[in-house]
Amino acid sequence: MVIVMKPQARKEDITGVEKLLKSMGFDVHISEGSERTIIGVIGDKRLLADTPLELLPGVDRMVHIVEPYKLAGRAFHPENTVIKIGNEEIGGNKVAVMAGPCAVESGEQLLNTARFLKSQGVGFLRGGAFKPRSSPYSFQGLEEDGLKILAEARDETGLLLVSEAVSERTLELAAKYVDVIQIGARNMQNFALLREAGRMKLPVVLKRGLSATIEEWLNAAEYIMNEGNYNIILCERGIRTFETYTRNTLDLSSIPSVKELSHLPVIADPSHGTGRWNLVAPMSRAAIAAGTDGLLVEVHPSPKEALSDGPQSLNFTSFARLMDDIRNIAGFLGRES
Amino acid sequence: MVIVMKPQARKEDITGVEKLLKSMGFDVHISEGSERTIIGVIGDKRLLADTPLELLPGVDRMVHIVEPYKLAGRAFHPENTVIKIGNEEIGGNKVAVMAGPCAVESGEQLLNTARFLKSQGVGFLRGGAFKPRSSPYSFQGLEEDGLKILAEARDETGLLLVSEAVSERTLELAAKYVDVIQIGARNMQNFALLREAGRMKLPVVLKRGLSATIEEWLNAAEYIMNEGNYNIILCERGIRTFETYTRNTLDLSSIPSVKELSHLPVIADPSHGTGRWNLVAPMSRAAIAAGTDGLLVEVHPSPKEALSDGPQSLNFTSFARLMDDIRNIAGFLGRES
Amino acid sequence: MVIVMKPQARKEDITGVEKLLKSMGFDVHISEGSERTIIGVIGDKRLLADTPLELLPGVDRMVHIVEPYKLAGRAFHPENTVIKIGNEEIGGNKVAVMAGPCAVESGEQLLNTARFLKSQGVGFLRGGAFKPRSSPYSFQGLEEDGLKILAEARDETGLLLVSEAVSERTLELAAKYVDVIQIGARNMQNFALLREAGRMKLPVVLKRGLSATIEEWLNAAEYIMNEGNYNIILCERGIRTFETYTRNTLDLSSIPSVKELSHLPVIADPSHGTGRWNLVAPMSRAAIAAGTDGLLVEVHPSPKEALSDGPQSLNFTSFARLMDDIRNIAGFLGRES
Amino acid sequence: MVIVMKPQARKEDITGVEKLLKSMGFDVHISEGSERTIIGVIGDKRLLADTPLELLPGVDRMVHIVEPYKLAGRAFHPENTVIKIGNEEIGGNKVAVMAGPCAVESGEQLLNTARFLKSQGVGFLRGGAFKPRSSPYSFQGLEEDGLKILAEARDETGLLLVSEAVSERTLELAAKYVDVIQIGARNMQNFALLREAGRMKLPVVLKRGLSATIEEWLNAAEYIMNEGNYNIILCERGIRTFETYTRNTLDLSSIPSVKELSHLPVIADPSHGTGRWNLVAPMSRAAIAAGTDGLLVEVHPSPKEALSDGPQSLNFTSFARLMDDIRNIAGFLGRES
């Protein structure tokens, strides 16, 4: 960390900061510039996170040099993390596909979808039982009944299950049924939920928050890892921008960026990322070209009748075409799918 | 709701939409324009929230005409809601003041602050026992011990208590000790928490989310009200913008805007809203001039030693000066304080 | 256009709006809903752009149904526009490449680059002579001398020239030397410049503004087209978001979106879009997979010594590798390069 | 400036940076931390603005410590700048009022308004002759005829004139007629225009860009000042956020913030800042409470018939009420008006 002094800071202000830091066990480098003095602090700066040095006389501001997360960073774990789930793995050479309806609506809808996805070679079935909807008057999900339907689909098809938890209690419930827990964008900074997810064993798909920076996203992963669960799959699902034609703005540059900063696998969700089914195929291809470890795609037997997010769901025909696309471009780029 | 057809929509597409809507019990007005046909839908459009009409052939998009919330809206309750808590009320003529440290750190720190606030004529003591911090390495709060310290301070001073809940379980705990529950910006769309808060009796301070629109904020209030709890105090605490000099951008125009759209009281938090203690006084004055029903202000006996948000906390001297300011300008504008 | 009346609008308010519109030559459809009346306006609504109907008694707001641009829209020109420039064309099957240094710094720097680009099969040489820099103390470009150096490079290599104009006067000057005029992101709503660019014959690369929506971008194109110049190449160069790891957020979903809404070609600038040279290759691949008509890439003989935007420039070795990538992926997707 | 080395930087990387900087005449402080080495650079860092040190081996990034502007900063000119224009002054104790229609539409409209404003004690008449409108089909202003009408109004009433220039040529024209030149939000980074405005003598109202930070705004002022014109009045007119209820988000915290960072006067435009005439009064009061040096307000004899921005214009009755408000609250806060 670097402490930037004000232009008008006095000699005794600088000595004051120096003394305080030394008393806390830090080493200090003072560098008098032409306009300002800056003070470099040496030691584990995470210990300073809660000390408002800005309030000391003569101090202008603190500049953080080291990223605030540790376990999620490349420096801590230089190789890519590869997460094994059943016979699948995420973060290795294969481009994983997680697909299914936004919400579980009925046994028939889900089983039809699951059988179809199985026939397409998909590894993971996704479907929401608890739906975080912005209006209380929208369909909120089948809750535990939805989880039971998902479990039946797994029993029949062998697909691995991904489903969302929205709170401590729904996490406890979902963890009994599914293989991978999803934490949604609106809960990316629900720290109580993150901590709880860190105490269980299941892998977690952690979606990027609507207006979160990559650093905040990795900090959220750090919360989970700090409790002992290292199996985190980051998921880029679009951020909020001023654009209204698309529902969100899918930030594909976050994929190679996360790969530089972190060892964790990162996947993309072009369905939420765009909100338009006809943009799902071009953005899936683009995500693979940008280096994604997987795709999370909404598929529905009849999007017109979907109770949630129909406009961004593919029907079976479009999805089959997408799977061809994915296989082709992944193969061309030297990856399996 | 208005359905906008594509320029190239065919006669049968329009008839198709018409038939479907009539079969669902809606009445329909068709208006053929020079470039496009639009279809007005008559009936309770909230029933259509889950129907993706955009996927019908020839349909371009749906335009929502009526706001999605109802209980939170002015039309439902034309007069201002005034919430009585102990001897205080919020939403009436008085400008309420809620003050205290960001986090409860110790009995001594809190009791000193409480006594001082009492002497200043403040009605509400705020202090966090569960702190949602963006890094897991920052101080996370004293949890139930913090709530106990708050309760002691109330017993001694008679101040009403405001404290934050961050999940279902912490809500259950906090509700045993405090008079008003706060739901933080990062939890504004934690729907499980909102629903739980709707099932209890305590008034709720609902902070605006970091990148939330006013409509989303009122939708969040609607979640709580829909469960039966109508005692909601909206709190503008700044939104995320590209500006970095201030921690957030305090959107004071949201105050008169909320007053137009809703009957609920609205207060302002200039401490989080700016992140700089020296901006708290001018922005408090401005908030009162814009019509706020109250202020939420961070005060700490020694901001330099605060474990959380020191740079935005006032010390006792500055706070006493602020209370003078508040009283003067509120009085000038015909309000009590 | 649809006019939404307030819930409390009176009969005479509705008649008032109806009369006014009819007196202006519009036809009107009135649709009385359960909560509000809406009024559909039939006729050329562009004539209403300057009439503040919101101020009539009982009117809540106006909802625009038809996009505000016309010449730039797909409906006006259903086929893709293909722009021919010398022996090159943009908007057809080929993925065009425009490359060169951010700023022209010297004859030697530019000629070296031009010869290298020629050897790589690039069609367009880009280089700035007028640099819009956020600080007046940064290098501002060689101005007309820079344009002369560009012209020499064209004379020797036959490369087509792309260079930026930043005002009426610099446009007049640049138009004497170059083949394509670039209008930068900060000038996307410099309407005086747009109008002037519409009065000349040269094709225009129109960059998307830092916080512009796609609609605003197409409106800017409409300004140029409205003066008679239809040769516009849209360029996605990243929008401003809260992310700081990348300089901007390259919105690749704007590429297929623009293709739906408009007939104009659209290219991507991964150098400004990311601000990091090592993200240029993955984002170039991704842009091609998303359907871009071309790429605008910064190349410098020695990025370390560049006077402008070095961190996002490729050196010759990286650029040669990128050209291989571009050729491979474009070829795989059935496009030339 | 501080150079942050990568965790894996080698001894020779650090020496390399050190040598380069010393050869450029800088002094260097090296501080080896527990995780990274940082290098403090001593000397006039503005000379380094164009050197991409990030590309040297082992360098992670550069951190700027000193603000990039100088002439606009408080350190350069510790007292408030007070600008005298005719008998008025801006930046002193008085809260200046600039009022008038968004666009000059006719002699009658403008003269009526001017006479009314004169009777209200207003000092400045504003009115646009060149209108930057987002669609080419909207009213673009009366151009030089509008300027002539403004000049007539001044001749009759003695009001000082404020009007916008949108390019080099319109600036040349406007400067012949008006007392204060306005540079609009969309042109805040039109550097050619800024430079031209710096070469003339007239005071400039410089509006904050739609998504500009305060630092970028002060950098834009620096462009003008760097050419010799120090008479700059900053104008907060709202920034773009996700909120749609208001047209922009008026950032009142920018007022006390600018006052800390700069000596230049700063005024507020609640008309564009909110886009709603009924929010103009509360936000004007709030701006004064936050310390504004003046207000820019839209007034129209008949907002319903305005050709531009009617919904945010006050009529004469509302404006007269606003002037009472302004006088009262300014007086209460110890300022004239």
Q: Chain B within 8 Å of D271 (Cβ-Cβ)? A: no
Measured between beta carbons, the chain A residues lying within 8 angstroms of D38 are 2, 40, 65
Mean pLDDT of B27-36: 84
Please tell me which residue, B318 or D7, carries the higher pLDDT value.
Answer: B318
How do residues C92-119 score in pLDDT, each as one tens digit?
999 999 999 999 999 999 999 999 999 9
Distance, in angstroms, between D85 CA and closest chain C CA? 27
Mean pLDDT of A112-141: 94
- Least CB–CB distance from A33: residue in D35, D40, D242: D40
- If you measure CA to CA, which chain B residue comes closest to A186? B189
Measured between beta carbons, the chain D residues lying within 8 angstroms of A66 are 33, 35-36
Q: Chain A within 8 Å of D210 (Cβ-Cβ)? A: no
For the cut 70, the answer to whether the pLDDT of residue B46 exceeds it is: no
- Report CB contact under 8 Å: D135, C69: yes
SS3 at position B45: helix
- Least CB–CB distance from C243: residue in A214, A244, A261: A214
Q: What is the rounded distance in angstroms from the CA atom of residue B26 to the CA atom of residue A141?
A: 25
Measured distance between the N- and C-terminal CA atoms of chain A, rounded to whole angstroms: 44
- Report CB contact under 8 Å: C167, D166: no
Q: Give the closest residue to C110 by CA, choosing from C123, C127, C124, C122.
A: C127
pLDDT by residue, tens only, chain D of 337 residues: 888 898 889 999 999 999 988 988 888 888 887 778 888 888 776 667 667 788 888 898 888 888 889 999 998 999 999 999 999 999 999 999 999 999 999 999 999 999 999 999 999 999 999 998 888 888 889 999 999 999 999 999 999 999 999 999 999 999 999 999 999 999 999 999 999 999 999 999 999 999 999 999 999 999 999 999 999 999 999 999 999 999 999 999 999 999 999 999 999 999 999 999 999 999 999 999 999 999 999 999 998 888 888 889 999 999 999 999 999 999 999 998 8
**What is the per-residue pLDDT for D33?**
78
How do residues C34-91 score in pLDDT, each as one tens digit?
778 888 888 776 667 667 788 888 898 888 888 889 999 998 999 999 999 999 999 9
- Least CB–CB distance from A290: residue in C245, C282, C291: C282
Q: What is the rounded distance in angstroms from the CA atom of residue C170 to the CA atom of residue C179?
A: 15
- Least CB–CB distance from B243: residue in D213, D261, D288: D213
- Report CB contact under 8 Å: D240, A240: no
How do residues B250-262 score in pLDDT, each as one tens digit?
999 999 999 999 9
Distance, CA of B328 to chain centre = 26
How do residues C117-152 score in pLDDT, each as one tens digit?
999 999 999 999 999 888 888 888 999 999 999 999
Measured between beta carbons, the chain C residues lying within 8 angstroms of D186 are 189-191
- List the beta strands (DSSP E) in chain D: 2-5, 27-32, 37-42, 59-63, 83-85, 88-90, 96-100, 124-126, 160-164, 180-183, 204-207, 232-236, 266-268, 294-298
For the cut 80, the answer to whether the pLDDT of residue A34 exceeds it is: no
**What is the per-residue pLDDT for B49?**
64
Distance, CA of B273 to chain centre = 13
- Report CB contact under 8 Å: B283, D246: no
How do residues C237-261 score in pLDDT, each as one tens digit?
999 999 999 999 999 999 999 999 9
- Report CB contact under 8 Å: A2, D32: no
Mean pLDDT of B88-117: 96
Report domain extents, chain C. Answer: 2-63, 83-332
Q: Which residues contact D119 (CB under 8 A, 6 or more apart)?
A: none
- If you measure CA to CA, which chain A residue comes closest to D6? A66
Q: What is the rounded distance in angstroms from the CA atom of residue A81 to the CA atom of residue A73?
A: 11
- Report CB contact under 8 Å: D31, A43: no
Measured between beta carbons, the chain B residues lying within 8 angstroms of D251 are 241, 243, 249
The residues pairing with B84 across neighbouring beta strands, listed in sequence order, are B89
- Report CB contact under 8 Å: D216, C134: yes
- Least CB–CB distance from D311: residue in C54, C134, C216: C54
Which pLDDT band holds residue C20 (cuts at 50, 70, 90)? confident
Least confident of A176-185, B159-168, C298-307: C298-307
A residues 119-148 near B, CB within 8 Å?
130, 132-139
Scan for tokens 């790589």, then name that residue.
Answer: C120
D328-333 long-range contacts (CB < 8 A, ≥24 apart) are: D328/B332, D329/B289, D329/B332, D329/D285, D329/D288, D329/D289, D330/D95, D330/D288, D332/B328, D332/B329, D332/B332, D333/D288, D333/D289
Burial of residue B22 (CB within 10 Å: 0-12, 13-18, 19+) is exposed
Measured between beta carbons, the chain A residues lying within 8 angstroms of B137 are 46, 49, 68, 226
**What is the per-residue pLDDT for C40?**
86
**What is the per-residue pLDDT for A45?**
67
Measured between beta carbons, the chain C residues lying within 8 angstroms of B33 are 40-42, 65-66
Distance, in angstroms, between A87 CA and closest chain B CA? 33
Measured between beta carbons, the chain B residues lying within 8 angstroms of D325 are none
Categorise residue A334: left if φ over 0, alpha if ψ from -120 to 50, beta otherwise: left
Neighbours of chain D (3+ CB pairs under 8 A): A, B, C
Measured between beta carbons, the chain D residues lying within 8 angstroms of B239 are 241-243, 249
- Report CB contact under 8 Å: D251, B243: yes
Least confident of A13-22, A42-51, B47-56, B266-275: A42-51
Distance, in angstroms, between A327 CA and closest chain D CA? 37
- Which CATH number does A2-63 carry? 3.30.70.1140
- Least CB–CB distance from A137: residue in B49, B132, B186: B49
Q: Give the closest residue to C215 by CA, choosing from D139, D211, A242.
A: A242
A2-63 against A83-332: fold identical:
no
- Report CB contact under 8 Å: A38, D66: no
D residues 58-87 near C, CB within 8 Å?
68-69
- Report CB contact under 8 Å: A216, B311: no
CA Rg value for chain D: 23
Q: Chain C within 8 Å of D164 (Cβ-Cβ)? A: no
Could you give the angle at the alpha carbon of C263 between the alpha carbons of C257 and C267, nearest 5°? 65
Q: Chain C within 8 Å of A219 (Cβ-Cβ)? A: no
Asked whether C142 and C167 are in contact (CB, 8 A), the reply is no
Mean pLDDT of B155-168: 97
- Report CB contact under 8 Å: C132, D191: yes
Q: Chain D within 8 Å of C12 (Cβ-Cβ)? A: no
How do residues B58-99 score in pLDDT, each as one tens digit?
898 888 888 889 999 998 999 999 999 999 999 999 999 999
**What is the per-residue pLDDT for A49?**
64
Q: Which residues contact C19 (CB under 8 A, 6 or more apart)?
A: none
Please tell me which residue, D41 or A185, carries the higher pLDDT value.
Answer: A185
Pick the CATH number of C83-332 from 3.10.20.30, 3.20.20.70, 3.20.20.60, 2.60.40.10: 3.20.20.70
How do residues B170-186 score in pLDDT, each as one tens digit?
999 999 999 999 999 99
- Report CB contact under 8 Å: A241, C251: yes
- Report CB contact under 8 Å: A213, C332: no
**What is the per-residue pLDDT for C293?**
98
Asked whether C192 and C171 are in contact (CB, 8 A), the reply is no
Measured between beta carbons, the chain B residues lying within 8 angstroms of D241 are 239, 241, 249, 251
Query: Of all helices (H) and strands (E), which one includes residue B331?
Result: helix B316-332
Distance, in angstroms, between D33 CA and closest chain A CA? 5
Least confident of A42-56, A137-151, B47-61, D88-102: A42-56
**What is the per-residue pLDDT for B45?**
67
Asked whether B36 and B60 are in contact (CB, 8 A), the reply is yes
For the cut 70, the answer to whether the pLDDT of residue B12 exceeds it is: yes
- Report CB contact under 8 Å: D135, C191: no
- Report CB contact under 8 Å: B135, A304: no
Query: Of all helices (H) and strands (E), which one includes residue B30?
Result: strand B27-32
- Report CB contact under 8 Å: C239, A249: yes
- Report CB contact under 8 Å: C191, D166: yes
Best mutation target, C188, C242, C247, C253, to test chain A (most A CBs within 10 A)? C253
Average pLDDT value for chain B:
93
- Report CB contact under 8 Å: C168, D168: yes
For the cut 70, the answer to whether the pLDDT of residue A46 exceeds it is: no
Q: Quote the crossing angle between the two packed helices B316-332 and B277-289, to the nearest 10°.
A: 10
